[in-house]
Amino acid sequence: MKNILRTKSWTGCLIGNFLCIYRLISFVVLFFISGLAFGQTYPQIPSPYVGSWDNTEYNTTEGTEFWVTFVFNSGANDDQNNLSLYLYATSREDADVQVRNPFTGETNSFHVEANDFARFKISNGWAYVNKENEVLEKSIYVKSTKPISLYATSHHSSGKYDGTNVLPVSALVGSYEVQTFMYDTYSSEFAIVAAEDATIDIHVQFTIYNKETPKDSVFYDTTLILSRGEVYLFRSAELPIDKKNAKASLTGTTLCSRNGARFAVFQGGQALKIPSGKDPENHIFHQAYPTDQFGKKFFVTPTYSASYDYVLITATSDGTKLKKMVKKSVLFKKEKHI
């Protein structure tokens, strides 16, 4: 059984919730508020909103090669004309960035000035995945002349929007664990992009929720064979099991490729209501990080304008114990930045 912890971060003062672990078992924290962060480094588990301090070895979101796809945004079910997909890139040096559809061969490029950012619009036909349970040629390959940080956003005119840092190919591995939120008006989802030819074994964990308590879990195994650049989308409402329910979570689903073939996972939800059952609905879209980057200590800061936030914690092993330490009333002058 996976350990899921919800914490609330109240605003009114700056509160830092510090999570420590008793046992040396890895886990990952996912914070369901989006932000734009370029050029960040990450110890253990990277995120624009959650930090870890228990590892002296740092990786980076910077790289020269990337694979990207965009998961189902419910605002664009039948209306892709109002869907906008963008890539943002930033670099420490001047860089030329090539964006290529590996299946049609169509290629475009843009330039990034040092210490600046550039935006590039992606054709919806290139990398928007709106069909599940089918192998699709819906990805883009990004290559740059110098290291860049890459960010991808999906925005529909109805207001459903989110974005994610994109990991470079050098950071991709062959093992992941999925995290999705449980209160989805439509469906929880994740898409797999093969960075190289891969046979991927998937252990699906499908959990139906009654308010905030797991009501029932269903498990099944499947194997997926993908060629380089191909994409496959899983949606909770369309899984081949008896207990279909859109308001469910795919958290705990594990993916592992044979022979260590690398792939990327983009996960989230079509139209989430966070907190549970509250409007407005919003699209959630973020890239999964490798399980070998899970950590044991994290710090979380609250959203400035929110009354509280949700933090989803997924443990990689049974018996994981958590400790929360709260630090209150941290005051800063208005000129100070953190």
pLDDT, tens digit, 9 for 90 and up, residues 158-174? 778 889 999 999 999 99
Residue 295 is given by DSSP the state: B
Q: What was the pLDDT predicted at 214? A: 59
Q: Which residues of the chain have pLDDT under 70?
A: 1-59, 75-79, 183-185, 209-215, 238-247, 274-280, 325-338
Q: Which residues contact 241 (CB under 8 A, 6 or more apart)?
A: 206, 218, 220
Q: What was the pLDDT predicted at 197? A: 96
Q: Which residue in 273, 262, 289 sits closest to 166, CA to CA?
A: 289
For residues 48-59, one letter each, b for 16 or more C-beta atoms within 10 angstroms of the residue's C-beta and e for the rest, the string is bbbbbeeeeeeb
Q: What was the pLDDT predicted at 186? A: 72
Q: Which residue in 132, 171, 166 sits closest to 149, CA to CA?
A: 166
State the pTM of this model. Answer: 0.78
- Could you give the count of Cα atoms lying within 13 Å of 89 in the half-sphere of its Cβ? 32
- Could you give the count of Cα atoms lying within 13 Å of 194 in the half-sphere of its Cβ? 22
Q: What was the pLDDT predicted at 132? A: 83
Q: What was the pLDDT predicted at 212? A: 56
Compute how many other C-beta atoms are within 10 angstroms of the C-beta atom of residue 273. Answer: 17
**Distance, CA of 72 to chain centre:** 13
Q: What was the pLDDT predicted at 276? A: 58
Compute how many other C-beta atoms are within 10 angstroms of the C-beta atom of residue 63. Answer: 20
Q: What was the pLDDT predicted at 272? A: 76
Phi-psi region of 80 (alpha: psi -120 to 50; beta: other; left: phi over 0): alpha
State how far the alpha carbon of 62 is from the alpha carbons of 70, 155, 198, 215, 308, in Å. 20, 24, 24, 41, 32
- Could you give the count of Cα atoms lying within 13 Å of 84 in the half-sphere of its Cβ? 13
- Could you give the count of Cα atoms lying within 13 Å of 239 in the half-sphere of its Cβ? 31
**Distance, CA of 183 to chain centre:** 16
Is residue 1 exposed (0-12), middle (13-18) or buried (19+ Cβ within 10 Å)?
Answer: exposed
